[in-house]
Structure 1
Amino acid sequence: MKILAIDTSNRPLSVAVMEDDRLLAETTLTTHRKHAEFLMPVIEDLVQKSDLQPTDLQRVVVADGPGSYTGIRMAVTAGKTIAKTLGIELVTVSSLLNLALNIEKEGVLINPIFDGRNQNMFTGLYRWNDGVIESVIEDQHINLTDWLKLISSYDQPIIISGDTDSFEDGMRSVLHSRLIVADSLAAIPSAAKLGRYGRSKSPVTNVDAVVPRYLRLTKAEADWKKLHPNEDTHDYVEKI
């Protein structure tokens, strides 16, 4: 199976072309946020360097959030457009899970973090079990204090990765020696690992219904909610 994988959840842009588990080409850029300018040229370049035509692709795997509103919207929109245009499968994967894939270690808990500002974070808790990564606590947008209440009872070491600078001191004051900070390379998502993981997952049944997983209201949603207090904001992107 020939797979295109895309992660633009935050500052890094990572795109890979895979054939089954074999990496054909990958580009990861970490120096800017101009994903709208670079994403499609990078995709076209990697497909060409892989000696493929776009019509050779059979599946698109995208990191669908949480993360930067603009970044995850870009990946989801690109993935949907490519899947619809080529008539191929689309798989969505948590952006936090993709970051957790960088730490392939059993016997520990993996805590990927994206900074949500003001001591809030996008985060989840993962672990490897017999070579398979699994969710321990689901992805969420949460305050640091509340997150520590959820994870402090676990006995295993907890490895944090991603946007750790704003949270390390507060977490260490509770977790002490159980807290391990991953090296900086673990904070960079890999589209190759995303593609490998997404290869075995079931594709979405309705490409048109796929929306980014923001995990908190955008400003537009919050404003809309104020004007429509009795209506559900679920799938707000589809409503407008």
Structure 2
Amino acid sequence: MKILAIDTSNDTLGISLVNEEKVIGEYITNIKKNHSVRVMPAIERLMVDCEMKPADLEKIVVAKGPGSYTGVRIGVTIAKTLAMSLGIPLVGVSSLAVLAATPRYFNGYISPLFDARRGLIYTGLYRFVDGALEMVKEDRNILATEWAEQLHELEEPVLFIGNDVKIHESTFQSKLEDRAIFSKIGEHNPRPGELGLLGMELPGEDIHTFTPNYIRLVEAEAKWLEKQGRTK
């Protein structure tokens, strides 16, 4: 099965082509540039380099969030458009799960995270069991200090992974001490190849009703709803 995977959910832009045997090709950048004008050229370039045509694709896999509101929306919109126009299945995978899939040989819990500002993070808890990634705690939007308290109760090593880990490193270090392990710089970027592999065996979703997983309302929407509530 030939799969195109798309991740624009954060600063990292990732595109990959995978099948059951290998990651055929990957494109990754980690720069703050507009994904909306870069993602389609990246897809086209990768497909040309890998000598594939759109008609060769059999599934689209997209990182569905959490992450940047705009970034998630861009990736999901493009993935839905491609899946619909090509008449192939669409699958969404947690953006956090994609991060957690990289350190597959870590013997312990894995906490992928994205910064959500004001002391908040997007995170979840994962681990590998018999070679397969499993979710231990669902993805959430939570204060880093509160998350550190919850992880402290587990009494096991926790690997923190992601480009925003450095922002909250001291919080986890002070609470978990030597049980807090931090990923190396080469592991921070979510790998689009892992995204494609995670979505390979998942069933296709209804394209028309498929929506991103923002976890929380964007700030402007939350303020608008709060204002409406006060008005009523």
TM band (smaller chain): over 0.9
The answer for unaligned runs of 5 or more in structure 1 is 231-240
| Whole-Å separation in 2 of the counterparts to 1:146 and 1:81 | 39
Match of 1:183 in 2: 184
Q: Say which SS state the counterpart of residue 225 (structure 1) adopts.
A: helix
C-alpha distance in 2 between matches for 1:227 and 1:71:
26
Q: Amino acid of the residue matched to residue 150 of structure 1?
A: Q
Stretches of structure 2 lacking an aligned partner (at least 5 in a row): none
Aligned-pair CA distance for 1:33: 2.5
The answer to whether the 8 Å contact 1:3/1:20 transfers is: no
- The number of aligned residues is 229
In structure 1, what residue type is equivalent to 2:146? D
Q: Distance in 2 between matches of 1:54 and 1:160?
A: 37
1:170 alignment partner in structure 2:
171
Does the CA contact (< 8 Å) of 2:149 and 2:175 recur in 1?
Answer: no
Q: Name 2:98's counterpart in structure 1.
A: 98
In 1, Cα distance between the equivalents of 2:187 and 2:224?
37
Contact 1:12 1:33 in 2 (8 A): no
What does residue 51 of structure 2 align with?
Answer: 51
Distance 1:215 1:33 in 2: 24
Deviations 1:157-208 (A, max 9, x none): 100011111211111111011001110121101111110111011221x111
What amino acid maps onto 2:177 in structure 1? H
**Local SS of the residue matching 1:125:** strand
1:80 aligned onto 2:80 = yes
Q: Which amino acid aligns with 2:171?
A: G
2:109/2:156 contact within 8 Å kept: yes
Contact 1:119/1:166, CA 8 A, preserved across alignment: no
User: TM-score, normalised on structure 2?
Assistant: 0.94
How do 1:15-164 residues align onto structure 2 when only pairs under 5 Å count? 15-162=15-162, 163-164=164-165
User: What percentage of aligned pairs have identical amino acids?
Assistant: 38
User: Contact between 1:102 and 1:186, CA under 8 Å: does it hold in 2?
Assistant: yes
TM-score by length of 1: 0.91
For 1:21 and 1:210, the matched residues in 2 are separated by 28
